């Protein structure tokens, strides 16, 4: 690394406040992680409540936005993963069927009582009254348990079938034979896209995990034949397949108990889904599906993907994860044409793949590659690039027709009650331009040419309170926190940014576009995958014919310069600073260890045999730190 390129943060006057800021940021993360930990490991019945709590907590944590623009990963999960069929078909596991109703979804308990004429069962009564000891309970004959279970299940099945018949106006048999096949086909199609792009994504640096996904991909291809991406365009209710829906419901239960549990497709686990009372149905289902274990794996994988997907920044509801694993962003003509142009530009390698448009529920969306695909518990950071975030046209518009925004006034007051002028306080409103300029100047946008919009940590904790993160020292701390001080991750980011800088020089698109409000999305995970992508071209506009922008010079009204490269240079320098700081700490720790070792050696002279193991220990410690 060239030391001349390293920025000296010591020169930064705000650096002196660093320990305090760092402490508060890290404490926030720790506290939130603890809170989440306890919420995420709850039983199924409290799952939804936990989701709500998480959202509320997240709002409390960020607390700066009057109009929350984002949703948490948990919110995405809760809103997307409760299709009708799951709510209607409570999963019956060997556990909840043998008298642990607390583990069942509330509607499942209700159904159970309905079936029994609203009366609690013997087991429940016993448990409630505490009249039966566990030994007595154990002595209940197996046959009575089985028959009760079987009766309950039979009742459940009859009810489900009835409901389906009602809804579809057709026979249950038709539904199970036709829709099931259709749903399986669709579901396989959706997963195929994910796997295909995941491979392009991470190239040859495939982990062990990737290997198993590829295996599933092959399995998937074999059972589906050749799929097209268009195949899933209007896919709805792929969980209508009764096996998949049960599997999905089971997955929900397990994912609520452990968000990070890695799926193990063992028969023992699978058998939990189909307990012995369902043996006949199980055989029938297995015949139809050939290998439902493959589906189970796929659904688990899909759930894990969905639960870790997040829209970190931007307008809430603008972006969602498509059922085929792609990202759907609300259509914007400017962005759409940029993406089309970028697909044949050298910058293509830095931009999510563009799959055209899709209509869904009467709205048009842009289909994009999901940049989080293939990442395990991704860590994400969104940096908005450029020395300004408003277009020159917005200035012109503000001059001619300036409307007041109360929402922006409120956001402003929340961050700094003294920021609005007296007049603005009186009107309780500010113009959009005024707000955007204030946002740019209170953050690092104006001075450094970029700002951090949000960070999601590996734990799922989301930090969006970067409104006043302006000093280099604050940004370095954020980078260290984000990368968990892992030098390898920071170095990977640095080299990707350097590559981007070179590619920008060759890009015809870049020189002929004013890139405003675009972000760099940093993504990595604990398996060592790391990447940076250019996203958000909603305010990226072409220059007038023949006008080429420099991107690294100051902006004056009329020159249309965006300062994108100024931001890139700052990021590169700050990353270098972060690397030195993280590496310095490793060295310091190693020195301390050596010193400690030497002191130990003096008091207890080392034996020759122990040297190699000591060395190994040292290496292990070093690796841990890196």
Residue 313 interacts with ligand ATP (CB under 6 A): yes or no: yes
Q: SS3 of 536, please? A: coil
Residue 358 interacts with ligand I3P (CB under 6 A): yes or no: no
Mark 498-537 with x for binding to ligand ATP (rule: CB under 6 A) and - for no binding.
-------------------x-x-x-------------xx-
Q: SS3 of 428, please? A: coil
Non-local (6+) Cβ contacts of 116 within 8 A are none
Residue 518 interacts with ligand I3P (CB under 6 A): yes or no: no
- Which of these, 438, 443, 432, lies nearest to 467 by C-alpha position? 443
**Candidates 107-115, 148-156, 432-440, 545-553 — which segment interacts with ligand I3P by CB under 6 A?**
432-440
Of these, 119, 167, 315, 617, which contacts ligand ATP (CB under 6 A)? 315
CA–CA distances in Å: residue 93 to residues 253, 261, 270: 10, 19, 10
Residue 319 interacts with ligand ATP (CB under 6 A): yes or no: yes
Whole-angstrom distance, CA of residue 243 vs CA of residue 250: 10
Sites for ligand ATP among residues 335-364 (CB under 6 A): 352
Q: Of these partners, ligand I3P, ligand ATP, none, which one is at the site of residue 389 (CB under 5 to 8 Å by kind)?
A: ligand I3P
Shortest Cβ 448–ligand I3P spacing (Å):
17
Of these, 327, 430, 436, 489, which contacts ligand ATP (CB under 6 A)? 327
Is the Cβ–Cβ distance between 249 and 327 less than 8 Å?
no
**Candidates 159-167, 211-219, 307-315, 575-583 — which segment interacts with ligand ATP by CB under 6 A?**
307-315
Whole-angstrom distance, CA of residue 571 vs CA of residue 565: 10
State the DSSP string of 225-248.
-S--GGGGTT---GGGSHHHHHHH
- Which of these, 348, 368, 367, 351, lies nearest to 359 by C-alpha position? 367
Q: Which is nearer to ligand I3P, 374 or 538 (CB)?
A: 538
Is the Cβ–Cβ distance between 311 and 319 less than 8 Å?
yes
Q: Which is nearer to ligand I3P, 36 or 439 (CB)?
A: 439
Burial class (CB in 10 A: 0-12, 13-18, 19+), 351: buried
Shortest Cβ 70–ligand ATP spacing (Å):
8
Q: SS3 of 330, please? A: strand
Helix (H) or strand (E) holding 385: strand 379-385
Mark 217-256 with x for binding to ligand ATP (rule: CB under 6 A) and - for no binding.
----------------------------------------
Q: Of these partners, ligand I3P, ligand ATP, none, which one is at the site of residue 524 (CB under 5 to 8 Å by kind)?
A: none
Q: Which is nearer to ligand I3P, 524 or 539 (CB)?
A: 539
Is the Cβ–Cβ distance between 559 and 543 less than 8 Å?
no
Q: Of these partners, ligand I3P, ligand ATP, none, which one is at the site of residue 568 (CB under 5 to 8 Å by kind)?
A: none
Q: Of these partners, ligand I3P, ligand ATP, none, which one is at the site of residue 536 (CB under 5 to 8 Å by kind)?
A: ligand ATP
Residue 69 interacts with ligand I3P (CB under 6 A): yes or no: yes
Long-range contacts of 350-355 (CB under 8 A, 24+ apart): 350/500, 350/503, 350/532, 350/533, 350/534, 351/533, 351/534, 351/535, 352/327, 352/533, 352/535, 353/197, 353/200, 355/229, 355/326
Q: What are phi and psi of 328, to 5 degrees?
A: -110, 120
- Which of these, 176, 158, 152, 165, lies nearest to 92 by C-alpha position? 152
Q: Of these partners, ligand ATP, ligand I3P, none, which one is at the site of residue 372 (CB under 5 to 8 Å by kind)?
A: ligand ATP
- Which of these, 187, 185, 209, lies nearest to 199 by C-alpha position? 209
Of these, 186, 194, 329, 439, which contacts ligand I3P (CB under 6 A)? 439
Residue 312 interacts with ligand I3P (CB under 6 A): yes or no: no
Q: Of these partners, ligand ATP, ligand I3P, none, which one is at the site of residue 439 (CB under 5 to 8 Å by kind)?
A: ligand I3P
Non-local (6+) Cβ contacts of 609 within 8 A are none
Residue 430 interacts with ligand I3P (CB under 6 A): yes or no: no
Residue 432 interacts with ligand I3P (CB under 6 A): yes or no: yes
- Judged by the rule CB under 6 A, the positions of this chain that interact with ligand ATP are 310-315, 318-319, 327, 352, 368-372, 380, 382, 517, 519, 521, 535-536, 538
- Residues contributing to the site for ligand I3P (CB under 6 A): 65, 69, 315, 389, 411, 432, 436, 439, 517, 538-539
């Amino acid at each position: 690394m060239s030391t001349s390129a390293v920025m000296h943060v010591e020169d930064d006057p705000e650096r002196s406040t660093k320990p305090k800021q760092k402490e508060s940021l890290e404490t926030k993360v720790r506290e939130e992680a603890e809170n989440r930990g306890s919420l995420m490991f709850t039983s199924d019945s409290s799952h939804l409540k936990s989701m709500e709590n998480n959202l509320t907590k997240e709002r409390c944590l960020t607390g700066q936005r009057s109009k929350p623009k984002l949703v948490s990963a948990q919110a995405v999960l809760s809103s997307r993963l409760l299709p009708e069929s799951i709510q209607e078909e409570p999963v019956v596991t060997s556990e909840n069927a043998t008298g642990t109703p607390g583990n069942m979804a509330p509607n499942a308990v209700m159904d159970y009582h309905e079936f029994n004429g609203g009366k609690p069962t013997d087991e429940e009564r016993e448990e409630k009254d505490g009249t039966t000891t566990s030994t007595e309970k154990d002595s209940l004959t197996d046959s009575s348990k089985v028959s009760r279970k079987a009766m309950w299940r039979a009742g459940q099945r009859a009810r489900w079938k009835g409901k389906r018949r009602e809804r579809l106006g057709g026979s249950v048999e038709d539904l199970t034979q036709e829709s099931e096949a259709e749903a399986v086909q669709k579901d396989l199609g959706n997963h195929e896209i994910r796997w295909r792009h995941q491979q392009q994504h991470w190239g040859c640096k495939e982990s062990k995990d990737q290997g198993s996904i590829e295996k599933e991909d092959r399995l998937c291809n074999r059972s589906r034949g050749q799929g097209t991406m268009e195949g899933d365009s209007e896919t709805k209710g792929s969980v209508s397949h009764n096996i998949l829906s049960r599997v999905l419901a089971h997955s929900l239960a397990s994912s609520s108990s452990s968000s990070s549990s890695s799926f193990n497709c063992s028969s023992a686990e699978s058998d939990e889904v189909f307990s012995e009372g369902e043996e006949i149905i199980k055989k029938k289902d297995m015949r139809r599906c050939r290998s439902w274990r493959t589906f189970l794996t796929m659904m688990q994988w899909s759930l894990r993907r969905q639960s870790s997907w997040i829209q970190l920044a931007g307008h809430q509801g603008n972006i969602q994860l498509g059922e085929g694993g792609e990202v759907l962003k609300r259509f914007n003509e400017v962005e759409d044409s940029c993406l089309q142009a970028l697909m044949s530009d050298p910058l293509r390698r830095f931009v999510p793949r563009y799959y055209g448009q899709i209509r869904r529920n009467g709205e048009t969306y842009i289909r994009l590659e999901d940049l989080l695909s293939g990442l395990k518990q991704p860590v994400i950071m969104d940096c908005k690039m450029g020395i300004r975030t408003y277009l020159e046209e917005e200035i012109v518009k503000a001059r001619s027709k300036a409307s007041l925004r109360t929402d922006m006034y409120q956001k402003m007051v929340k961050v700094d009650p003294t920021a609005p002028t007296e007049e603005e306080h009186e009107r309780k409103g500010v113009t959009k331009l005024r707000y955007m300029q204030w946002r740019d100047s209170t953050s690092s946008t104006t001075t450094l040419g970029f700002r951090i919009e949000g960070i999601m940590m590996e734990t799922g904790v989301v930090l969006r309170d970067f409104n006043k993160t302006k000093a280099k020292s604050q940004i370095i701390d954020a980078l260290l926190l984000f990368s968990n001080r892992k030098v390898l991750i920071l170095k990977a980011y640095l080299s990707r940014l350097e590559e981007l800088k070179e590619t920008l020089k060759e890009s015809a698109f870049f020189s002929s576009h004013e890139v405003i409000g675009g972000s760099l999305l940093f993504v990595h995970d604990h398996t060592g995958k790391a990447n940076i992508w250019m996203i958000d071209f909603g305010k990226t506009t072409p220059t007038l014919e023949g006008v080429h922008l420099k991107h690294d010079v100051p902006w004056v009204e009329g020159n249309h310069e965006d300062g994108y490269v100024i931001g890139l240079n700052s990021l590169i320098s700050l990353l270098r600073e972060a690397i030195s700081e993280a590496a310095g700490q490793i060295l310091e720790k190693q020195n301390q260890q050596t010193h400690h070792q030497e002191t130990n050696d003096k008091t207890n002279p080392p034996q020759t045999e122990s040297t190699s193991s000591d060395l190994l220990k040292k290496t292990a410690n070093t690796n841990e730190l890196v």
